[in-house]
Amino acid sequence: MIKILLVDDQQLVRFGLKGLLERTTDIEVIGDVASGEEAVEFVKTHETDVVLMDLRMPGIGGLEATRRVARASPKTRVLVATVHIQDPYPKSLFKVGAAGFLSKAASEEELIRAIHAVHAGERYISPDVAEMLNLKTLNAKEPTPFSKLAERELQVVLMLLTGKKINYLAKQLHVSSKTVCTYRYRIYDKLGVETDVGLTLLAFRHGLLEDMGTVD
């Protein structure tokens, strides 16, 4: 039996996934939580085979949560399911320990297949994501500006896009406010923007946000 934890800030999404997965004979949903922080604490105290992780959530978000889950419970496999399939998300998530990357547009059959694959120790990438990454290489297109960022810098970007205050980000990342400000201005310099508004517009332009309402 594959023991799985569902992580998504939308209760209806968790409810729907739970109902879908509980129809299978070899998958048991042992918990569902609304944040990355809760996911990290859960795997510390519960034997968990697979975490189905959302990417964009309040707090530390899916990228940092994936990093922390991988450290807290090395045997737990993290499968990220998100609408944000653009680079640099897939590459960054794999670097911090994700075992799979799944588009939320995936079918029920693909979701089950992905869970089985990562549980078996394989790496899983949705066909549409794999095709996108392959086409990017074949066409030798200029990479997104966000590809210049280190994983930690990308994590700070994702948190800045939620509109939270610097003090809040510092608390979530366990660093000082001064350190967060240093990250922010380093990011501004690399991306060629001057404000959080400019950062948001750039993120929207390159597909890191599916619509401007995402940052609320």
Chain segment 109-167, per-residue pLDDT in tens: 989 999 999 999 988 887 766 766 554 443 444 567 887 888 788 878 878 877 778 88
The overall average pLDDT reported for the chain is 83
Backbone angles phi, psi at 190, to 5 degrees: -65, -35
CATH superfamily for domain 2-136: Response regulator (3.40.50.2300)
User: What type of residue sits at position 201?
Assistant: L
Is the model's pLDDT at 5 over the cut of 90? yes
Cα distances (Å, whole numbers) of residue 92 to 95, 99, 132, 177, 207 = 5, 12, 15, 24, 15
Maximum C-alpha span of the chain: 53
Locus of tokens 């922390």: 68
- Rounded CA gap, 48 and 28, in Å? 10
Pick the CATH number of 145-215 from 2.60.40.420, 3.30.2140.20, 1.10.10.10, 3.30.70.2200: 1.10.10.10
Q: Looking at residue 4, what is its pLDDT?
A: 97
Cite the residue boundaries of each domain of the chain with CATH code 3.40.50.2300. Answer: 2-136
Is the model's pLDDT at 212 over the cut of 50? no
How many other CB atoms sit within 10 Å of the CB of residue 167? 11
Among residues of the chain, what percentage have pLDDT more than 70? Answer: 85
- Range with the poorest average pLDDT among 19-33, 96-110, 142-156, 190-204: 142-156
Minimal CA–CA distance to 10: which of 42, 54, 48, 41? 54
Contact in structure between 59 and 170 (CB atoms under 8 Å): no
Chain segment 154-163, per-residue pLDDT in tens: 878 878 877 7
Is the model's pLDDT at 174 over the cut of 50? yes
- Burial letters for 135-152: b for 16+ Cβ neighbours within 10 Å, e otherwise? ebeeeeeeebbbeebebe
User: What type of residue sits at position 172?
Assistant: Q
CA 158 to chain centre: 10
Average pLDDT of span 188-201: 86
Is the model's pLDDT at 190 over the cut of 50? yes
Chain segment 31-49, per-residue pLDDT in tens: 999 999 999 999 999 999 9
- Rounded CA gap, 112 and 109, in Å? 5
Locus of tokens 């205050």: 165
Is the model's pLDDT at 207 over the cut of 70? no
Cite the residue boundaries of each domain of the chain with CATH code 1.10.10.10. Answer: 145-215
Contact in structure between 180 and 156 (CB atoms under 8 Å): yes
Q: Looking at residue 76, what is its pLDDT?
A: 96
Q: Looking at residue 86, what is its pLDDT?
A: 58
Q: Looking at residue 138, what is its pLDDT?
A: 38
